[in-house]
């Protein structure tokens, strides 16, 4: 790998780590995580675990650190989701489905 590849890799990893900071700040500052999808969090945890393993296998230190940092941020979002969401609202299957007449009438 050339120097240019490494520089681009470090910049990308840095930006990736900083991408979740505003969301983590928002959740804990406003004490609200209702808008964060549980599916998103589950998929991000799985993605981080797979990427950490992959980064270790290819021995890329920047990717290892970036994915560990993102994993920590996602865990913080999960904590915020369950800490600040009303009881039962984080249950994926418990969402109320509106009937078709409610949608038409606007009730």
pTM comes to 0.73
Q: Tell me, what's the pLDDT at 41?
A: 93
24 or 104, higher pLDDT: 24
Residues 45-71: what's their mean pLDDT? 92
84 or 96, higher pLDDT: 84
Q: What is the dihedral of CA 72, 73, 75, 81, to 10 degrees?
A: 170
List % helix, strand, coil for the chain (3-state, nearest 5).
75, 0, 25
CA distance linking residue 17 with residue 85, whole number of Å: 25
CA distance linking residue 60 with residue 9, whole number of Å: 10
- Taking each helix axis as running N to C, give the angle between helix 21-30 and helix 3-19, from 0 to 180 degrees, rounded to the nearest 10: 10
Residue with tokens 């007449």: 101
Q: Tell me, what's the pLDDT at 106?
A: 53
60 or 96, higher pLDDT: 60
In the predicted structure, residue 45 carries a pLDDT above the cut 90: yes
In the predicted structure, residue 88 carries a pLDDT above the cut 60: no
**Whole-number mean pLDDT of the chain?**
82
Task: Fold for 3-85, please state it.
Answer: Monooxygenase (1.20.1280)
Q: Tell me, what's the pLDDT at 67?
A: 93
Closest to 52 in 3D by CA, of 39, 36, 69, 37:
69
Where do the domains of the chain lie?
Answer: 3-85
Q: Tell me, what's the pLDDT at 9?
A: 83
- 58 C-beta neighbours (distance < 10 Å), count: 9
């Amino acid at each position: 790998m050339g120097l240019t590849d490494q520089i681009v890799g470090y910049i990308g990893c840095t930006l990736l780590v900083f991408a979740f900071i505003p969301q983590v700040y928002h959740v804990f500052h406003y004490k609200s995580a209702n808008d964060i999808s549980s599916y998103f969090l589950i998929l991000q945890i799985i993605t981080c675990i797979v990427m950490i393993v992959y980064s270790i296998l290819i021995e890329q230190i920047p990717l290892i650190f970036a994915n560990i940092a993102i994993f920590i941020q996602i865990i913080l979002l999960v904590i915020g989701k369950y800490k600040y969401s009303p009881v039962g609202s984080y249950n994926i299957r418990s969402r109320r489905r509106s009937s078709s007449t409610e949608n038409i009438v606007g009730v």
